[in-house]
Structure 1
């Protein structure tokens, strides 16, 4: 089972290349209506007034749900605001939007626009699409093999049967990061800048796990973002290409102030070991980010944090909150 089976499960149009054939074309939706406010159940909360719309990506043919939380004084102040784009928006946008308000209430950061993005449709569709969207091209075969237990757990948690899992060819659900980055750069960011008052000098991207890997990819590619929050990621997706990627990063003419925040839970080494990683994998991931600062001394600041009493998934709220504080505060403080 490849794209056809995933389509039957609601994952049609993923843009993944499993059999060498293009994914089945999706019916093109009508032009999106103006953004509408969120459900009334959020009235009185920090999510009251959240806007939501859908964008069709030209780069990979996928529809993405977009959620937007504007600062409470947005209509009154008429100024530009920093931007934070949160990946895996279906599960992490609400966390990010709330965290931004809370950290601002401590007078540690400016108010900001928070945006969530996720593949539209059932949860299993996003589960598959995120692996494609968030991973670089040419993922090593050894890493693909190491990910099989994780994939099985994730897909079955979304309702995939044992028979469907057995028939699934997972080799083709990687490598879509270039197309997803093109969507962010050429469609999402221009749309946000056109609809909202975005401070283009301070734009952040946040992701966790394979989403964190994509954030590292956007950093290495010299994206329009200059604030990067990376949670519990592995650099093994890049294989032996890391030296070449760092060399290319060092040669980019980009002279912007770039801040990078990396966090992982203190329980994760045991979890990483179960996936064939462990301390060595963690060291490789941290070293890659540190190498970006070495490549551009004085321009790239990297901050690391270990989240106490947290595993791979449970550390997400702390990563998002810490990332907002470190990346959007007046300065990136030194680790204690």
Structure 2
């Protein structure tokens, strides 16, 4: 009886009281797409190809607004690569109740040939067996100089001209992507303010970048924030040692104002590194102020 009385009162209040549930169901067009970002592209005269970009824009983003956003550039940023995982971490850490760092645009650079784009030229491939590869697996390699030129002269100006960005830029690279991020850090450090380098393949070229690091760091000393994540030593002692050597070189020879964080993740493998490593990087680079 009490339920009937309440229902009668709701109906007396007007038609919305009795039809709210039904009208709400009718107004929501379900099922509907769940949109995480947009797909853009840029023609590269340097690479002689069109590159697909997966772009995440923060909620409320408007090109007509005066608000501007930092940009996080993600290597291996295809829809079937790391883009979805990193966007989730960015969205989570920039929610109002966490507010670890400002809302940011994420630019995922989809791959065409990562082994070509992320490696520098070498005299031969005798060393690749040490990392568990066969020379035939690198049918194309040595294109990192062209890819860095693409980032500097084409991609970054394209993003700055097309989207509402600030000058702040971060790069995230893992494995061979970590090798490229390291090469940028050592040779063209001004391209980014923050470097998140995960399980970098510094074995490439028989650790040539590590050998060159002291001289390059003295030549290009810049204020930067660098996170270096290394996975389980039990999986690869070489990759752990190389990542640690990079952190040590940055601490010893880098600018005194450079922030260097070395993070050992013994429970993560090379394959599982990306998600936990980037989460740790955000947490350590941007501690929440209490």
TM-score in same-fold range (> 0.5): yes
* Paired residues of 2:199 and 2:239 also in contact (CA < 8 A): no
Using structure 2 for the length normalisation, give the TM-score: 0.78
Deviation at 1:103, TM superposition (A): 0.9
Query: Compared with structure 1, are the counterparts of its residues 115 and 295 closer, same or farther at alpha carbon in structure 2 (3 Å cutoff)?
Result: same
Partner of 1:236, secondary structure, is coil
Query: Compared with structure 1, are the counterparts of its residues 172 and 205 closer, same or farther at alpha carbon in structure 2 (3 Å cutoff)?
Result: same
Query: Compared with structure 1, are the counterparts of its residues 141 and 191 closer, same or farther at alpha carbon in structure 2 (3 Å cutoff)?
Result: same
Please list every run of 5 or more consecutive structure 2 residues that lacks an aligned counterpart in the other structure: 1-31
Partner of 2:275, secondary structure, is helix
| Aligned with residue 116 of structure 1, among 108, 112, 123 | 108
2-structure distance, mates of 1:99, 1:177 = 27
Q: Where does 1:23-102 land on structure 2 (aligned, <5 Å)? A: 41-43=33-35, 47=36, 50-75=37-62, 78-90=66-78, 91-102=81-92
Query: Compared with structure 1, are the counterparts of its residues 308 and 171 closer, same or farther at alpha carbon in structure 2 (3 Å cutoff)?
Result: closer
Number of the residue aligned with 1:320: 278
Number of the residue aligned with 1:134: 118
Deviation at 1:289, TM superposition (A): 3.0
Number of the residue aligned with 1:284: 242
Q: Where does 1:104-253 land on structure 2 (aligned, <5 Å)? A: 104-105=94-95, 106-119=98-111, 126=112, 129-138=113-122, 141-147=125-131, 149-150=132-133, 169-170=136-137, 172-200=139-167, 202-223=168-189, 224-239=191-206, 241=208, 242-252=210-220
2-structure distance, mates of 1:296, 1:179 = 25
Deviation at 1:81, TM superposition (A): 1.3
* Paired residues of 1:228 and 1:259 also in contact (CA < 8 A): yes
1:241-294 Cα offsets, whole Å, 9 max, x none, are 434342122122x54x3011111333xx3432xxxxx2x442233212321232
1:271 aligned to 2:235? yes
Query: Compared with structure 1, are the counterparts of its residues 222 and 299 closer, same or farther at alpha carbon in structure 2 (3 Å cutoff)?
Result: farther
Which of the pair has the greater relative contact order for Cα pairs under 8 Å at 6+ separation?
1
1:43-97 Cα offsets, whole Å, 9 max, x none, are 4xxx1xx121222322222332101111113228522211101111121111111
Please list every run of 5 or more consecutive structure 1 residues that lacks an aligned counterpart in the other structure: 1-39, 120-125, 152-167, 273-277
The alignment yields a C-alpha RMSD, in angstroms, of 2.5
2-structure distance, mates of 1:293, 1:73 = 40
Using structure 1 for the length normalisation, give the TM-score: 0.68
Partner of 1:66, secondary structure, is strand
Partner of 2:89, secondary structure, is helix
Structure label with greater radius of gyration: 2
Query: Compared with structure 1, are the counterparts of its residues 244 and 304 closer, same or farther at alpha carbon in structure 2 (3 Å cutoff)?
Result: closer
Query: Compared with structure 1, are the counterparts of its residues 185 and 290 closer, same or farther at alpha carbon in structure 2 (3 Å cutoff)?
Result: same
Equivalenced residues, count: 251
Query: Compared with structure 1, are the counterparts of its residues 292 and 330 closer, same or farther at alpha carbon in structure 2 (3 Å cutoff)?
Result: same
